[in-house]
Amino acid sequence: MLRTPLRYSSWLSKAAGAEVFLKLETLQPTNSYKIRGATNAVLKLAAASGKHKAPIVTASAGNHGRAMAHAAAAAGLHLTVYAPEHAPKTKLDAIREAGAELRLCSDYDEAERRAKEHGARGIGVYISPYAHPDVIAGAGTVAMEILSDLPKVETIVASIGGGGLISGIAVASEGHAEAAGVEVEASTPFTSSLRAGRIVPIEVGETLADGLSGNLDPDSPTFEIVRDRVKQIAVVSEDDLRRAIHDVAHHEKLIIEGATAAAVSAVAYGKLDVRGKKVAIVLSGANVDLDRWALVVGCR
């Protein structure tokens, strides 16, 4: 796991009328911030297990599974990952290559349900990709590094799927910076649930942001954390995601996946008002199939 750099973006600063910096989690060994929470959770479980190597199980849209596979292999633990069969091939291949057992499901919601059932049978310790306290705490180290490198940062922006990243950021930055989240139109579990005052099921559509797609675990603590500590949540479109992937490649010379593009697009195209502020955007991941990325940026 790396302490990743925070890089100033002249393009985004001009577009947003702010001072905008990019937290480059795309440079992590598994190319996403997920390694932070996965490593924290696995190391704590391994320490508690002692000589008894407890098997673990998780659900993932791809990045968490890859990070968990990396951490489990280092700790000598057997890992089973339930994941959507339509997840990017680069993510699924990386999970297999790291030695985890991969079980494919029709969509993310089925993957999470089956992984929880697996854990409930007592044949593996279930570690949620976003609701486990050690995963949330690990994600919060992103904000701690940002605050160390840019003490006067006012807003930290991150994409929202299950809410683990934004929850960790909100807790770690409380009293120092505001946490702002971004969902995609195709999957708005937080926007919908906050409107209802409780976690509600949503209809999930197709999206480039595969890592943000799916319903919330009814028992997830992230709903309360987001409700109480995150003051802004923007919602962006698929066109916004495509434009952001293209613009980041053009201006920053970086590859980002659809889930990462949500946070970028909200700042770049005015979905979050950050004018006059010091802003850090978490570039959460770069695990995208290159053929698809090339189509989006116009290389093919």
Residues 55 and 160 in one domain: no
Residues 245 and 164 in one domain: yes
Residues 191 and 146 in one domain: yes
Is 1:36 a contact under the CB 8 Å cutoff? yes
CATH number at residue 149: 3.40.50.1100
Residues 111 and 189 in one domain: no
- What does each C-alpha distance from 158 to 128, 142, 162, 273 come to in angstroms? 19, 10, 12, 14
Per-residue confidence (pLDDT) for residue 299, from 0 to 100: 58
Residues 145 and 222 in one domain: yes
The pLDDT profile of the chain, 300 residues, written as one tens digit per residue, is 899 999 999 999 999 999 999 999 999 999 999 999 999 999 999 888 776 788 999 999 999 999 999 999 999 999 999 999 999 999 999 999 999 999 999 999 999 999 999 999 999 999 999 999 999 999 999 999 999 999 999 999 999 999 999 999 999 999 999 999 999 999 999 999 999 999 999 999 999 999 999 999 999 999 999 999 998 999 999 999 999 999 999 999 999 999 999 999 999 999 999 999 999 999 999 999 988 888 888 854
3-state secondary structure 222-284: HHHHHHHHEEEEEEECHHHHHHHHHHHHHHHCCCCCHHHHHHHHHHHCCCCCCCCCEEEEEEC
Is 58:95 a contact under the CB 8 Å cutoff? no
Expressed as residue numbers, the domain containing 196 is: 6-32+133-297
Return the DSSP state at 58.
E
Residues 174 and 226 in one domain: yes
Classify 28 in phi/psi space as left (phi over 0), alpha (psi -120 to 50) or beta.
beta
Q: Which of 98, 126, 154 is the last residue of a domain?
A: 126
Is 160:212 a contact under the CB 8 Å cutoff? yes
